[in-house]
Chain A
Amino acid sequence: MIRFQRQLATLSLAALALFGAGNAVAGQVNLTGAGATFPYPIYSKWFDMYHEKTGVQINYQSIGSGGGIQQVKAGTVDFGASDAALSNARLKEMPRKVLHFPTVAGAVVLSYNLPSVTQPLQLTPETIVGIYMGKITMWNDKSIAASNPGVELPGAPILPVHRSDGSGTTNIFVTYLSAVSSQWKELVGANTSVSWPVGIGGKGNEGVAGLVRQTPGAIGYVELAYAKQNKFAVAHIRNSSGNFVEPTLASTTAAAEGASAMLAKDVRTPIVNSPAPNAYPISGLTFLLVYQDQKDPVKARALADFIRWSMTDGQEVAESLDYAKLPAPVVKVNEATLMMLTSSGKPVLAAK
C-alpha cells in the first residue's frame, strides 16, 4: 500500500512536471500567417532566426497573396502577406482596419533569347509597352535599334511571354506598364493577372524562363532573384531620369528610396518608375497585412516585436537571399505604423 502511494506520488510529480512543461509551451507565443509565395524564402529564414532568438514560433503558409488576403478577411491568421497592397475597395471589404508593413523589395527583370546579341539589351518604357501591346513585332524595329546603338539586332519576330498564373510579379510588371503608358492603363490595367493583348503564358517563373530559353526571339519577365540565380541575360531599362539601369538589389533599394516621400504619405503607393536617378524602374514592395486593433495583447506584442526585428536584424540577411532591403526612410515609415497598433484600444508598443 505504501509502495503504491509512493508510486502515486512519483506519478503525480511526473504529471506536475509534464504539466509545468506544458504550461511553458502554452506561455510561448505562436503566431500564424499566410499569403504571398514570393517572399516565402526570406520569411521562413526570418521566422527560423527569430524563433532561435526569442522562442516565438511563427507558422507561415505560402498559399499565394489572394489566399492570404482571404484568410485575413476571415480572421483565421494573425497576419497576412501580399505582394500587392490592398486597394481602397478591398480595404473596405475588410471587417476592421488593416495596416500595411512593407518587408523587402523585389524587382522584375526582362530576360530575352537573342543568341547573337552579346551586350545587355537596353530598353525604353515605350518599347516594352510596344512589345507587350503587339505593336513592336520585330527585333530590328527602329525603336529598339535607337536605344541600342552599335548592336546588330536580328530580323526575327518577337515572342512576348508572360506569367499565366496570377502573381505579384505580374502585378509589379503591369503596374509599371500602367505607370509609363496611359494607353496600357486604359486598355489593360494592372492586377495579379490581366487580359494580355499578345503573347503566350508560362506557369510560374520557371514556365516563363523555360519558354524564353527554348524560343529564339522570345522575351519574358521574371523575378530578379530567379534571374540572378539562373544567370539570365537581362535588359537594362531606361528610368524616369533617362538613365539605363541594370536591375540589381542596390538599384531596387534605390527605387524604394526614391519613392519614400510618397510612401510616407501612403505606404501602399507603387514604387514603379521611381524618380531616383539610379533606381531600377520595375520594382515593388511586398507587404505584411495586420489588423490595426488586435484582439490578443500578447500576440499583438509578439507580432509588433517581430516586425520591429525584421526592420533591423532581418534586413541584414535580405540580400543573402537575393531580396532588396528597405532603405532607411521606409523602415522609418514602418516604425511609425507600428506605433498605430492597438489591442482593445490600448497601444501595443510604448512610445519611445
Chain B
Amino acid sequence: MSQAKVRRRGVSADEVYKGLLAAAAALVFVIVALIVYEVARGAELSIRTIGWKFLTQTEWDPVADKYGALPYMYGTLVSSLLALIMAVPLGVGSAVFLAEIASRRVGSIVSFVMELLAAIPSIVYGIWGFFVLAPWLRTFIEPWLIAHFGFLPLFRGFPFGIGMLNAGIILAIMIVPTIVSISREVLLATPGTLREASLALGATQAEAIGVALDAARPGILGAIILALGRALGETMAVTMVIGNTNRISLSLLDPGATMSSIIANEFTEATGDLYLSALIQIALVLFAVTIVVNALARALVYFATGGRRDAAGAA
C-alpha cells in the first residue's frame, strides 16, 4: 500500500533507499574535500610566502620565521619504512602460523589477543617506549649495534635510547596486529582445495603454504598498506620516543622528528600567523605524502598480482 502511495509521488522506496546509501557514500568524499579545503586555506599564507622551498628547506626556525618541511618528511618516511621492515616478516609469519599450522583454538585465542593489542591507545605504547624500551636500547642494544655495526653509517653515533630506531620499533609493534589479523583472515579465505591439490601432487607442507600465500598475496599487500597508513600518521607514541630534533641523519640511533610530531609539539604555542600557517601546511604535505605512498603501494599491488583480483584478494 505504502509503496503504491510512494509510487504515486514518482519515487519508489527502492530509489529512496538507494539515494540514502549513495548520500552516505558521497558524504565520505564531501568530508575529505572539506578537510583538504580547510587545510589548504589555513596553509595559504605559508604557501604564498615560502613557496616550493617549503619542501626542500631543512631549516625550521620559528624565531627567524623560516620553515622547511624536509626533515619531517624524511622522519615520517624513514620511521614508517623501518616499522614495515620489522613488522611485515613478523606479521605475515604469525599470520601463516595462525592460519595454516596452529590449531583452530590456538589461532582464535591468539588473534583475539592481537585485536586487544590493536585497541591499546598509542600514548600507552609511547610511555612504554619511553620508560622501558629506551633504557633497554640505551644500555644493551645500541652499544652492541655501535660495537658490531658501527662501520655502517646507519649505526653510528651515541646511544641515546630514544631516536629513529625506538620510533621504528614502537611503530612496528603498533602495526603488527593489523597485518596479522587481516592476513590471517585472507589466508583462511583461500580455498582449501589449493593446499589439497598441492599436497596431492607431492608438495611438502611448506610448499603448499607457499601456494596459499601466493593466492592470498593481494589481500596481504592490502593489509600492509593499511598498516603503513597507520604508521605514517601515528603521532603521540612517536613524539614521545623520536627525540624531536629537526636534523636529517642517516644514523638510526640519532633523534629525528616526523610531520605529525612537529604539529603535536608546536601547534598549541605557535604564535604568529606564518608560523601557524606553516604548521598547517605540514598537515597538507602529510596528506599529500599519504596519498602518494598509498597510490604507489596500490600500484605495487597491481603489478605484483598482474592486475588479478581473486576470491581472496580484498585489495
Q: In the docked arrangement, what's the CA distance between A3 and B147, Å?
A: 96
Q: Which of A121-176 contact B (CB under 8 A)?
A: 157, 159, 164-168
Q: How far is the CA of A97 from the CA of B28 in the complex (A)?
A: 44
Q: Which of B198-206, B240-248, B286-294 contacts A (4 or more CB under 8 A)?
A: B240-248
B75: min CB distance to chain A, Å: 12
Given contacts A165-B269, A214-B138, contact A207 B63 (CB under 8 A): no
B-contacting 9-mer, from A65-73, A107-115, A271-279, A299-307: A65-73
- Interface of B: prevailing SS: loop
Name the one of A93, A168, A194 contacting B273, with C-beta atoms under 8 angstroms: A93
| Candidates A63, A195, A202; contact of B268 at CB < 8 Å | A63
Interface residues of B in 227-266 (CB under 8 A from A): 239-240, 243-246, 255, 257, 261, 264-266
Among B53-78, those with CB < 8 Å from A are 59-64
User: Which residues of chain A from 166 to 219 have a CB within 8 Å of any chain B CB?
Assistant: 166-168, 188-196, 199-203, 207, 210-211, 214-215
Q: Mark A210-253, 1 if CB is under 8 A from B, else 0.
A: 11001100000000000000000000000000000000000000
Chain B positions 92 through 108: 1 when the CB is less than 8 Å from some CB of chain A, otherwise 0: 00000000000000000
Min C-beta distance of A90 to chain B, whole Å: 6
A282 within 8 A of partner (CB): no
For residue B2, CB closer than 8 A to chain A, the reply is no
Q: A166-B265, A203-B265 are in contact. Are A194 and B63 (CB under 8 A)?
A: yes
The residues of A that contact B163 with a CB separation of less than 8 Å are: 200
**Nearest opposing residue in chain B for A218, CB measure:** B160
Q: How far is the CA of A43 from the CA of B63 in the complex (A)?
A: 29
> Contact check: which of B240, B255, B266 meets A166 at CB < 8 Å?
B266
Provide the residues of chain A in CB contact with B239, threshold 8 Å. 164, 203
How close is A292's CB to chain B, nearest CB, in angstroms?
Answer: 20
Residue A84, interface by CB 8 Å: yes
**Cβ–Cβ contact A195 & B61, under 8 A:** yes
Residues on A with beta carbons closer than 8 Å to the beta carbon of B135: 214
* A141 CB to nearest B CB, Å: 17
Q: Does B51 contact A (CB under 8 A)?
A: no
A39 is an interface residue with CB less than 8 A from chain B = no
B245 engages A200 (CB within 8 Å): yes
Chain A positions within 8 Å of B261 at CB level? 164
> Closest CB of chain B to A323's CB: distance in Å?
19
- Cβ contact within 8 Å between B162 and A195: no
Report how far A94 CA is from B76 CA in the complex, Å: 36
Q: Residue B131 at the A interface, CB < 8 A?
A: yes
How many pairs, one residue from A and one from B, have CB atoms within 8 Å of each other in the complex? 102
CB-based contact B245/A66 at 8 Å:
no
A85 to chain B: closest CB distance in Å?
11
Partner of A191, one of B62, B138, B160: B62
Contacts of B59 in A (CB 8 A): 195
* Alpha-carbon separation in the docked complex, A84 to B239 (Å): 24
Pick from A167, A200, A203, A214: contact of B269, CB below 8 A: A167
- Evaluate whether A193 and B268 lie within 8 angstroms (CB atoms) in the complex, with A202-B244, A203-B239, A214-B138 already known: no
**In the complex, A88 Cα to B246 Cα: how many Å?**
29
Please, how many residues of chain A have a CB less than 8 angstroms from a CB on the other chain?
A: 37
B272 within 8 Å of A (CB atoms)? yes
Given A201-B245, A211-B162, verify A189-B64 contact (CB < 8 Å).
yes
Chain B nearest Cβ from A97, distance in angstroms: 18
Contact check: which of B63, B134, B240 meets A203 at CB < 8 Å? B240
CB distance from B32 to the nearest CB of A (A): 26
User: Is A64 an interface residue, CB under 8 A from the partner?
Assistant: yes
Q: Nearest Cβ in chain B — how far from A186, in angstroms?
A: 10
B158 to chain A, nearest CB (A): 7
In the complex the two chains form, what is the Cα distance from A211 to B243 in whole Å?
Answer: 10
- What count of chain B residues pass the 8 Å CB interface test? 36
Contact yes or no, A157 B266, CB < 8 A? no
Which residues between 313 and 329 of chain A lie within 8 Å of chain B, taking CB atoms?
Answer: none
Contacting residue for A164 out of B134, B244, B276, CB 8 A = B244
B3 at the interface (CB under 8 A from A): no
Contacts of A168 in B (CB 8 A): 269
Is there contact, CB below 8 Å, between A215 and B138? yes
Chain A residues with CB under 8 Å of B60's CB are: 195
- Taking the closest CB of chain A, its distance from the CB of B90, in whole angstroms, is 27
* B269 engages A196 (CB within 8 Å): no
- Contact between chains at B138 and A195 (CB < 8 Å): no
B265:A164 contact, CB within 8 angstroms: yes
B161 in the interface (beta carbon within 8 A): yes
Residue in B158, B240, B269, B273 whose CB lies within 8 Å of A192: B269
Complex CA gap A63/B266 in Å reads 12
Complex contacts, A196 vs chain B, CB 8 Å: 245
Interface residue ranges of B122-155 to A (CB < 8 Å): 130-131, 134-135, 138
**Chain A neighbourhood of B243, CB < 8 A:** 200-201
CB nearest neighbor in B for A189? B63
Chain B CB within 10 Å, residue with most, of A70, A89, A165, A196? A165
A195 and B244 contact, CB distance less than 8 A: no
Report which of A66, A191, A201, A215 forms a contact with B244, defined as CB distance below 8 A. A201
Assess whether A65 is in contact with B269, with CB atoms less than 8 Å apart: yes
> How far, in Å, is B262 (CB) from chain A's closest CB?
9
Q: How far is the CB of A36 from chain B (nearest CB, A)?
A: 9
From known contacts A194-B63, A195-B63, A200-B245, infer whether A165 and B266 are also in contact, taking CB-CB under 8 Å.
Answer: yes
Q: How far is the CA of A210 from the CA of B272 in the complex (A)?
A: 30
- Whether the Cβ atoms of A193 and B265 lie closer than 8 Å is yes
The CA of A347 and the CA of B198, in the complex, are separated in Å by 92
B255 touches A201 (CB 8 A): yes
For this complex, 5 residue pairs linking A to B, each with C-beta atoms less than 8 Å apart, are A165-B269, A191-B271, A193-B62, A200-B244, A214-B131
Q: B residues within 8 Å of A by Cβ?
A: 59-64, 130-131, 134-135, 138, 158, 160-163, 239-240, 243-246, 255, 257, 261, 264-273, 276
Across chains A and B, which 4 residue pairs bring their CB atoms closest together, nearest first? A166-B269, A64-B268, A201-B244, A164-B244
